[in-house]
Amino acid sequence: MRGNGFEPKIVAFLCRWCAGAGADLAGTSRLSYPPNAVPIRVNCSGRVEPAWVVEAFRSGADGVLIGGCHPGDCHYVVGNYKTRRRIYLLQKVLAEVGVEPERVRLEWVSATEGARFARVMREFVEELRALGPLAMNQEEKALPPQGGVHA
Amino acid sequence: MPKVAVYWTGGCGGCDVSFLELGPKLLDVLSQVEVVFWPALVDTKRQDLEALPGKAIDLALINGTLRTQENVEMVEVLRSKSRYVVAFGACAHLGGVPGLANLKSREELLVEVFGGGFRPTPPPGGPSEHALPELLPQTLPLAGAIPVDYVVPGCPPPPALIADLFERALAGDLPPAGHVFGKDKAVCEECPRKKEDRKLDKIVRPHELQPDGERCLLDQGMICMGPVTRGGCEAACPKAAMPCTGCLGPTPKAGDPVLAMISALASLVRAGEEGEAAFSAEDKVLDSLADPLGTLAKYSLPSFPRLARSCVPTPVRRGP
Amino acid sequence: MAAPNPGPKGPRVGVFVCYCGKNIAGTVDVKKVAEAAAGLPGVVYATTHEYMCSDPGQELVKRAIREQRLTGVVVAACSPSMHEVTFRRAAQEAGLNPYLLEIANVREQCSWVHEGPAATDKAVRIVRAMVEKVKGNHPLTPVEIGHSRTCLVIGGGIAGIQAALDVADAGFDVILVERSPTIGGRMAQLSETFPTLDCSQCILTPKMVDASRHPKIRILAYSEVEEVTGFLGNYRVRIRRKPAYVIADKCNLCGECAKVCPVRVPNEFDQGLSERAAIYIPFPQAVPSSYTLDAKNCLGLVPLTCGECAKVCEAKAIDYDMQEEIVEEEVGAIIVATGYDLYPKEAMAEYGHGTVPDVIDGLEFERLLSASGPTKGQVRRPSDGKVPREVVFIQCSGSRDPELHKPYCSKICCMYTAKHALLYRHNVHDGKAYVFYIDIRAGGKDYEEFVNRAMEDDRILYLRGKVAKVFREEDKVMVWGVDTLTGKRIEIRADLVVLAQAMVPAEGTWDLARKLRIACGSEGFLKEAHPKLRPLEALSAGIFMAGAAQGPKDIPEAVAQASGAAAKAVGILSADKLVHSPEVAEVDEDLCSGCKLCAPQCPYGAITVDEVAHVNEILCESCGTCVAACPSGAMSLRNCQDEQVVRMVQAALAEG
């Protein structure tokens, strides 16, 4: 990545119909934005599990973007509404354990909003640069292994 | 005669008492086994245990969470002397209620409980065998320290599951290692409450509501962990009008029950009334979930440390 | 389900990185991506090609599948919306299950928006994640389904009529449902059509007659779709037929009933500019050709209060005991053509809130121009019946106004306003017309020329600017506007103001969409599966759309779309068998506790729960919302399972 400054790592879960198509349009329109996010396509933002978001943080992400359709615009009618509530509750719990809720960003981007997608990316990267690395990923281990039963 | 050990690390003692729930069956069991180590029942000490030859114990049932260095040492000894080790009860299985302490660092906890000047070790007069055992940085489930063969889950384990363990052990019919006694399906399967109106219009705490006797508690606004929690308890709590708190731990593929329930609960809020206009009303419902982690991670935090570990240990000010 | 991939010998994934000429290779080091891919666990083959989608490129993929015995393929190229189908077909031809091939989008979402080493680094991450996905994919087989050969068309306007005729002409039965007493829709209300100035009814009524005489078309007018269940090829519809209280076959249109009816209510067909009786026919050429008794406005049927109409009906066509009827049909495909309404004048605070009688909307003006209208085609203003000498036309009234009204362009207003101005001038030779416009949008065959005709008329003045305020002053309507070309404030004492109101979806579109389980966009128009490439289809397979229900459009576009939708519907009706994507949700019955949390998540009603949940794999559209809601992990989405995504996340973030 560029410069000496901190470059956040981002996972972007993009729904195929709106945000993903919007990202494609940003490409077709050659609207450049920082390359920090790796996109993962899902059919609907409603498929995104809170567990994936936490997994991304544990795997080194500094931010997670979930891109869905605008309210009223969801290809699956109401999937994005469920996502909004799930992320809202997840953010509350993350805040309780010291993860800034802004690190999880839910954005509505339509298939025609390539410019908006690029802007969201630029903004998110800027915000994460300001926030700095995710503290829990900076900690030293001496921590317990994943629990469970040893077979 | 099979040799049995029972040991209690960081726990409340309820698991030891739970054996009594076997009733007359307990006599059958006790007549068929030899108890070689059970501090709560027979006068046996660590030295007695250490004196045993390797694998002298057939079945070691360990309950309680691991909080101190001494806990770890003891279970390591038990492991080396036992053919089969069973994590018995929610604390050994998952970390249990004491595991919620993992939301804080050890240093924060000590300050919280004993005040800022507390220095646990060494005790006045220098190190000695009477020193308090060192606290671990985090609470651990049993499997965090030693390999575990079986789990009898629950807080405390339901008698049917304890009986199942003994019956199969005595018949020489133990399942493959890794087995968790209990069902793979969630508590809802055993729960007689009617699940019809699947939506959440409000969230209440158990003391705030006299629930309808027939309907699902979740539908009435109580946070019931039944849908994510392993069955095997015959839905004892929901039957008694108390929501499931998740003591048997998550079902095999649920992952972290906190995250699974975040997704499930949020999905249910005002289901069927979706719309942009409803956003603030939806948020209000979710805001009324008091103490989300204490509710959703009541037993499981040390086993699913992804959230707990994210706590940044804050530097503790020590005495001069 | 079939055996999972990786097979017993572990995965053998091939990665194919496309240069896309310079489109990808211009910024991404394609060779480096292939090298990085070659080093990934499970990847046994990685290569590049100038144009992977070309025949030699596809051949390369196919040969590698066969020679390397690949169990999975990742093509790193353009967006999967471009060539996923191409490459999956190629995989199938080479003997690899098509669902074991995935596209890594390194063009639209990488090479076109980034540069430098960072672009290559991101491409590697994207490929790495996709390799993990492919390793977890299962081979799947599309689900086959049998189906009905009947088509349901909802809405009897020009789009619905055209769609019905085209499907019927192809040899399939059609049920055409219209909620008003006649088919014909908005087009029947229009005076003349741009740019040819054809008489609208004259060109429409032959089509209405064709539809009514067609042996394959069954018209259910005065009917509404009550409920739709089922799925592609097998929709079950319940249609509520409202009682018309007139037996259509007996009615001879003598009109005596309406003459004796004591009730007078605003006539909807004339946009309320005239009155009708409670028993009425919307217009003489209505289809079905019959009077309708509007029970809501009748003095009373139960008990019978008046009964005058039956007394004078010689044909004995009036039946007060007629009952509502529910028609149940199985249909294979559905075409939705429910049309538009005009954005209400009442919403235009700046233009008098709809309270000024001589401020009317475009459809009202159509009725004033129409020979069959309330003034017999004479332009007379509503307040006092005088011929207006000065008329102001305001375009974009409610359109292109994201702050206060609708953000979109209603598309037809530039054209019909030009038509209105011209027709007004034909009608009132010494009249003067003013047209306020923002821009002129006249894209269409002969459209620009048509608007120019209006602009060249020396008594039609086009003013570029917005009108700030319209209000009544004595018997005039004051129009305050600005001409942005001269920068001058304009004040006109007009006799009549015509607002080119924005087009909005017809009332009830949203409710119908909910019944059909299809989506509406944020402005309430039906949402197509893809704005460019699947503009006629709803996302729910087997449901198509035509006409202004999908967005503002004019008659030729609506007709073209209707014929297109009909062709798509015929494609389904005529198919030997139908297939549905197998990448759907599925339940692990050994884990499902029957908690029922999943069922209300499904917008398609695809989940039923008894002891355990069941997914109707034909109804399921693969959104995965139920999967995320399932707390026990019993529900999963094929080829988008939790473990797969978790590994994708890890691979995307891994260092090195």
C142 phi, psi to nearest 5 deg: -55, 150
Q: Residues A105-130: what's their mean pLDDT? A: 95
Task: Find out whether C44 and C12 touch, Cβ atoms under 8 Å.
Answer: yes
Residues C602, C523 within the same domain = no
Question: What is the pLDDT confidence band of residue B121, given thresholds at 50, 70 and 90?
Answer: low
What is the reported pLDDT for C8? Answer: 56
At C620, which CATH number?
Answer: 3.30.70.20
CB contact under 8 A, B189 and C593: yes
% of chain B at pLDDT higher than 90: 76
Q: Which residues of A touch B103 (CB under 8 A)?
A: 96-97
CB contact under 8 A, B143 and A149: yes
Residues C58, C167 within the same domain = no
d(CA C123, CA C133): 15
CA-wise closest residue to C323 among C248, C244, C250: C244
Q: Which residues of A touch B150 (CB under 8 A)?
A: 149
Task: Find out whether B220 and B197 touch, Cβ atoms under 8 Å.
Answer: no
List the beta bridge partners of residue C530. C534
What DSSP string runs through chain B?
--EEEEEE-BS-SHHHHHGGGGTHHHHHHHHHSEEEE-TTTS---HHHHHHSPTT-EEEEEEESBEEEHHHHHHHHHHHHHEEEEEEESHHHHH--GGGGGGGS-HHHHHHHHH-TT---SSPTTS--TTSPPPEEEEEE-GGGTS---EEE-SSSPPHHHHHHHHHHHHTT-PPPTT-BSS-SSBGGGG--SB--S--BS--B-GGG----SSB-TTTTTB---GGGBB--STTHHHHTT-----TT-B-TT--SHHHHHHHHHHHHBTTT--SGGGHHHHHHHHHT--SHHHHHTTTTGGGSHHHHTTSPPPPPP---
Give the number of A-B residue pairs with CB atoms closer than 8 Å. Answer: 133
CB contact under 8 A, B184 and C633: no
User: Which of A87-101, C118-132, C530-544 has the highest mean predicted lDDT (pLDDT)?
Assistant: C118-132
Residue C461, both tokens: 């003045």
Residues C162, C298 within the same domain = no
Task: Find out whether C189 and C201 touch, Cβ atoms under 8 Å.
Answer: no
Q: Hey, is the C-beta of A55 within 8 angstroms of any chain B C-beta? A: yes
CB contact under 8 A, C631 and B260: yes
CB contact under 8 A, C591 and B189: no
Residue C190, both tokens: 């229009």
Q: Which residues of B touch C599 (CB under 8 A)?
A: 198
CA-wise closest residue to C276 among C295, C303, C297, C300: C297
User: A70 exposed, middle or buried (CB, 10 Å; 0-12, 13-18, 19+)?
Assistant: middle
What is the reported pLDDT for B128? Answer: 60
Q: Report the residue from B276, B296, B312 with minimal CB separation from A98.
A: B312
Neighbours of C146 (CB within 10 A): 10
CB contact under 8 A, A35 and C519: no
Chains that touch B (3 or more CB pairs under 8 A): A, C
User: C473 exposed, middle or buried (CB, 10 Å; 0-12, 13-18, 19+)?
Assistant: exposed
Residues C490, C512 within the same domain = no
Domain ranges of chain A: 10-135
Question: What is the pLDDT confidence band of residue C230, given thresholds at 50, 70 and 90?
Answer: confident
CB contact under 8 A, C628 and B199: no
Question: What is the pLDDT confidence band of residue A74, given thresholds at 50, 70 and 90?
Answer: confident
Checking if the pLDDT of A146 tops 50, the result is no
What is the reported pLDDT for A3? Answer: 43
Q: Residues C324-340: what's their mean pLDDT? A: 97
Q: Residues A42-57: what's their mean pLDDT? A: 96
More confident residue, B272 or C507: C507
Q: Is the peptide bond before C11 cis (omega within 30 degrees of 0)?
A: no
Tell me which residues of chain C, numbers 518 to 547, contact chain A at a CB-CB cutoff of 8 Å: 518-522, 527, 529-531, 539
Q: Residues C335-349: what's their mean pLDDT? A: 97
Domain presence at residue C181? yes
d(CA A48, CA A74): 14
Q: Which residues of C touch B252 (CB under 8 A)?
A: 591, 633
Residues C480, C543 within the same domain = no
Lowest mean pLDDT among A78-82, A114-118, C150-154, C537-541: C537-541
Question: What is the pLDDT confidence band of residue B127, given thresholds at 50, 70 and 90?
Answer: low
Test mutation, A48, A77, A84, A85, chain B, max B CBs within 10 A: A85
Q: Residues B124-148: what's their mean pLDDT? A: 81
What DSSP string runs through C67-96?
HTT-SEEEEEES-HHHHHHHHHHHHHHTTS
List the beta bridge partners of residue C390. C432
Give the dihedral sign, CA C87/C89/C93/C96.
positive
List the beta bridge partners of residue C241. C223, C325
Distance from the Cα of A14 to chain C's closest Cα (Å) equals 11
Checking if the pLDDT of C591 tops 50, the result is yes
Q: What angle do CA B291, B294, B299 make, to 5 degrees?
A: 165
**Which DSSP letter does residue C474 get?**
T
At C539, which CATH number?
Answer: 3.50.50.60
d(CA C602, CA C584): 12
Task: Find out whether B60 and B33 touch, Cβ atoms under 8 Å.
Answer: no
Which chain C residue shows the shortest CA-CA distance from B263? Answer: C629
Question: What is the pLDDT confidence band of residue B271, given thresholds at 50, 70 and 90?
Answer: confident
Question: H or E stretch including C456?
Answer: helix C447-456
Residue C359, both tokens: 């401020």
Which chain C residue shows the shortest CA-CA distance from B264? Answer: C629
Lowest mean pLDDT among A135-149, B205-219, B224-238: A135-149
Distance from the Cα of B108 to chain C's closest Cα (Å) equals 32
Task: Give per-residue pLDDT as tens, C89-106.
Answer: 999 999 999 999 999 999
Question: Helix (H, G, I), strand (E, B), or coil: what is residue C153?
Answer: strand
Give the dihedral sign, CA C376/C377/C382/C388.
negative
Q: Residues B114-124: what's their mean pLDDT? A: 67
CATH class of residue range A10-135: alpha beta
Residues C39, C95 within the same domain = yes
SS (H, E, C) B147-199: CCCEEECCCCCCHHHHHHHHHHHHCCCCCCCCCECCCCCEHHHHCCCECCCCC
Task: Find out whether B244 and B158 touch, Cβ atoms under 8 Å.
Answer: no
CA-wise closest residue to B262 among C236, A6, C346, A92: A92
Residue A57, both tokens: 């943080």
d(CA C512, CA C519): 10
SS (H, E, C) C554-591: CHHHHHHHHHHHHHHHHHHHCCCCEEECCCCEEECCCC
Question: H or E stretch including C507?
Answer: none
The separation between the first and the last C-alpha atoms of chain B, rounded to the nearest angstrom, is 58
| ipTM reported for the complex, 2 dp | 0.92
* Strand-pair category, C43-49 with A63-68: unpaired
Residues C437, C487 within the same domain = yes
Q: Hey, is the C-beta of A132 within 8 angstroms of any chain B C-beta? A: no
Checking if the pLDDT of B319 tops 80, the result is no
Alpha-carbon distance values, C374 to B215, C366, C368, C380, C495 (Å): 61, 11, 7, 9, 18
Question: What is the pLDDT confidence band of residue A59, given thresholds at 50, 70 and 90?
Answer: very high
What is the reported pLDDT for C375? Answer: 95
Task: Give per-residue pLDDT as tens, C167-219.
Answer: 999 999 999 999 999 999 999 999 999 999 999 999 999 999 999 999 999 99
Task: Give per-residue pLDDT as tens, C17-37.
Answer: 999 999 999 999 999 999 999
Task: Give per-residue pLDDT as tens, B11-41.
Answer: 999 999 999 999 999 999 999 999 999 999 8
Q: Which residues of C touch B267 (CB under 8 A)?
A: 597, 601, 625, 628-629
Distance from the Cα of B82 to chain C's closest Cα (Å) equals 32
Q: Which residues of B touch A146 (CB under 8 A)?
A: 303-305
* Strand-pair category, A63-68 with A104-108: parallel
Residues C189, C333 within the same domain = yes
User: C383 exposed, middle or buried (CB, 10 Å; 0-12, 13-18, 19+)?
Assistant: middle
Chains that touch C (3 or more CB pairs under 8 A): A, B
Residues C542, C610 within the same domain = no
Lowest mean pLDDT among A11-15, B133-137, C404-408, C501-505: B133-137
Q: Hey, is the C-beta of C109 within 8 angstroms of any chain A C-beta? A: yes
% of chain C at pLDDT higher than 90: 90
d(CA C57, CA C49): 6
**Looking up tokens 């440390």, which residue turns up?**
B305
d(CA C3, CA B82): 39
Residue C588, both tokens: 């692990």
Q: Which residues of A touch C103 (CB under 8 A)?
A: none
The whole domain housing C68 covers 1-140
List, as own/partner pairs, every contact residues C30-39 make where C-beta atoms lie below 8 angstroms and the sequence separation is at least 24, other chains included.
C32/C120, C32/C124, C33/C76, C33/C106, C33/C120, C33/C123, C33/C124, C33/C127, C36/C124, C36/C127, C36/C128, C37/C74, C37/C76, C37/C124, C37/C127, C37/C128, C37/C131
What is the reported pLDDT for C553? Answer: 96
Residues C335, C348 within the same domain = no
**Which DSSP letter does residue C534 get?**
B
Q: Hey, is the C-beta of A60 within 8 angstroms of any chain C C-beta? A: yes
What is the reported pLDDT for B196? Answer: 87
| Binding-site residues on chain B for chain C (CB distance < 8 A) | 184-189, 195, 198-199, 226-228, 231, 250-255, 257, 260-261, 263-264, 267-268, 271-272
The alpha carbon of C75 is separated from its chain's Cα centroid by a whole number of angstroms, namely 33
Task: Find out whether A128 and A77 touch, Cβ atoms under 8 Å.
Answer: no
Tell me which residues of chain B, numbers 138 to 177, contact chain A at a CB-CB cutoff of 8 Å: 138, 140-141, 143-144, 146-151, 176-177
Checking if the pLDDT of C495 tops 80, the result is yes
> Please, which residues have CB within 8 angstroms of residue C199's CB and are 6 or more apart in sequence?
C191, C192, C371
Which chain B residue shows the shortest CA-CA distance from A100? Answer: B310
Q: Report the residue from A58, A78, A89 with minimal CB separation from B265.
A: A89
Tell me which residues of chain A, numbers 75 to 134, contact chain C at a CB-CB cutoff of 8 Å: 75-79, 82, 86, 111-112, 118
Topology of the domain covering B3-104+139-170: Rossmann fold (3.40.50)
Give the number of A-C residue pairs with CB atoms closer than 8 Å. Answer: 150
d(CA A13, CA C180): 46
Which chain C residue shows the shortest CA-CA distance from A16? Answer: C81
Distance from the Cα of C509 to chain B's closest Cα (Å) equals 16
CB contact under 8 A, C591 and B251: yes
Q: Which residues of A touch B286 (CB under 8 A)?
A: 85, 88-89, 92
Domain boundary among C504, C538, C566: C504
Task: Find out whether B62 and B87 touch, Cβ atoms under 8 Å.
Answer: yes
What is the reported pLDDT for C533? Answer: 85
Question: pLDDT averaged over chain B?
Answer: 89
What is the reported pLDDT for C517? Answer: 79
What total of structural domains would you count in chain C?
5
Task: Give per-residue pLDDT as tens, C143-162.
Answer: 888 899 999 999 999 999 99
Residues C623, C547 within the same domain = no
What is the reported pLDDT for C9? Answer: 73
Residue C194, both tokens: 């741009």
**Which DSSP letter does residue C344 get?**
P
d(CA C357, CA C274): 13
Test mutation, B189, B223, B295, B306, chain C, max C CBs within 10 A: B189
d(CA C585, CA C624): 7
C287 phi, psi to nearest 5 deg: -130, 120
